[in-house]
Amino acid sequence: MKEKKHLLTACLCLAASIAVCCITGANFLKARELPMPQNGPGVTEVKMLSDWFSGLKGTHADTPVYVLRGAEPGGTMLILGGTHGNEPSGYMSAFTFIENAVVDKGTVYVIPYTNRSGMTHNDPGEGNMQYFTLQTQSGPRTFRFGSRATNPIDQWPDPDVYVHYPSGQKLSGSETRNINRAYPGRPDGNLTEKAAYGVAELIRTENIGLTFDLHEASPEYPVINATVAHQDAMPIASEGCISLLLNGIEMSLEQSPTNFHGLTHRELGDYTDTMAILMETANASQGRLRGATSQRQVMGGQDKCYELSERLGMLYVPWTVNGILGHPIEERCGRHLQGIKEYSTAYSNANPDKPIVYRGVPGYAELFLNADPTYLGGSILGSYLK
């Protein structure tokens, strides 16, 4: 009798486990269907990263590359969004650029999801949201909130220690799946290294003159509201940074450290001829000090815990900008898009034979400074999306 009861309990537990597996399994599988940008007026072609490195074909690391070819020849520029899937202003800036930009001179390549695999899952233990919705020109549109690292379904297990190729630098094993520790990549490496290699190949093949990598950081991280540039890009970055400051955007400029490897601003500058620039904005949903997960936190950039942290002097950014509490997505995307504008203008000034000229993309003023504060937190950004 007792044995029968145990068998029944075991069967019930097994049935419950199967039900949980099916429900959550379907949820996790759905996360692989990524929302993509709508083609804007300047998009001339949509290619895949595997067109530059065939080793990515058929993998979850193969990612769309939007090409915006200008009416006149000029320089070439690459914008990397979605290096880290938990830093939404990176890929939302890329979306905004793709859906609005008209290129007059030169060619612009935009990758909205640089680590596409990282967009298909969330970091265990971080309690992140999976999706957020914005009201756009065509109605509500849902976007993914992803992970900092490649999906373990695509690359697993992590080694105990990650040894960067080719420098030999050692980092924690989980960094093996961080594409911004994998550059310059290698064709026979792991999936993340292959994706990094694909980006480097695109840069080499298309002679990309200027590369942007768009990031966010937790407000308690020292390098924030900042631009980090490879030493070769410092003259352009300095000129662009002064323009940003004159436009009322607080921006610090740092030269890429030579002893920290795997990042775009170090390795793409060293292993290709591009001018590599990385920008960081303040993301309230990213740090260890953050409060409860919500759309207000992710899009509105507001968080009670960070208000407390600011009072404790723990933050490296002011928590109120122009009278607005927190760092709404419009401010963060505005910084990125204005940064791209100013740095690319500086590049064109320095290279008059290879200008990059575009229009139609909202900047810091349109998205944030001149916006009605009651609509910040997604609505203003949404109004620029199709």
For residue 309, state whether it binds other proteins (rule: CB under 8 A).
yes
Give the residue ranges of DSSP H helices in the chain.
Answer: 2-30, 88-100, 191-205, 234-246, 269-271, 295-298, 304-311, 329-350, 364, 379-383
Q: How far apart are alpha carbons 294 and 342 in whole angstroms?
A: 33
Is the distance from CB of 198 to CB of 50 less than 8 angstroms?
yes
For residue 292, state whether it binds other proteins (rule: CB under 8 A).
yes
Identify the three-state secondary structure at position 46.
Answer: strand
How far, CA to CA in Å, does 185 sit from each of 53, 101, 110, 276, 348? 12, 30, 19, 16, 29
Nearer Cβ to other proteins, position 14 or 163? Answer: 163
Least distance (Å) between residue 114 CB and other proteins: 19
Selected from 7, 14, 18, 23, the binder of other proteins by CB under 8 A is 23
Report DSSP state, residue 172. Answer: E
Selected from 234, 305, 357, 365, the binder of other proteins by CB under 8 A is 305
Task: Print the binding letters for residues 171-190 with other proteins: x by CB under 8 A, - otherwise.
Answer: xxxxx---------------
Nearer Cβ to other proteins, position 291 or 373? Answer: 291
For residue 261, state whether it binds other proteins (rule: CB under 8 A).
yes
Q: By rule CB under 8 A, what count of residues binds other proteins?
A: 44
For residue 46, state whether it binds other proteins (rule: CB under 8 A).
no
Selected from 159, 187, 248, 318, the binder of other proteins by CB under 8 A is 159
Selected from 293, 295, 351, 383, the binder of other proteins by CB under 8 A is 293
Nearer Cβ to other proteins, position 152 or 235? Answer: 152
Q: How far apart are alpha carbons 240 and 245 in whole angstroms?
A: 9
For residue 325, state whether it binds other proteins (rule: CB under 8 A).
no
Identify the three-state secondary structure at position 364.
Answer: helix
Selected from 63, 117, 122, 225, the binder of other proteins by CB under 8 A is 122
ω before 352 within 30° of 0 (cis)? Answer: no
Reading phi first (left if > 0) and then psi (alpha if -120 to 50, else beta), residue 184 is in: alpha
Q: Which of 235, 271, 273, 240 is nearest to 255 (CA)?
A: 235
Residues between 137 and 156 with contacts to other proteins, criterion CB under 8 A: none
The binding site for other proteins (CB under 8 A) comprises: 20, 23-24, 27, 122, 124-127, 130, 157-161, 163, 168-175, 220-223, 259-261, 288-293, 303-305, 308-309, 312, 314
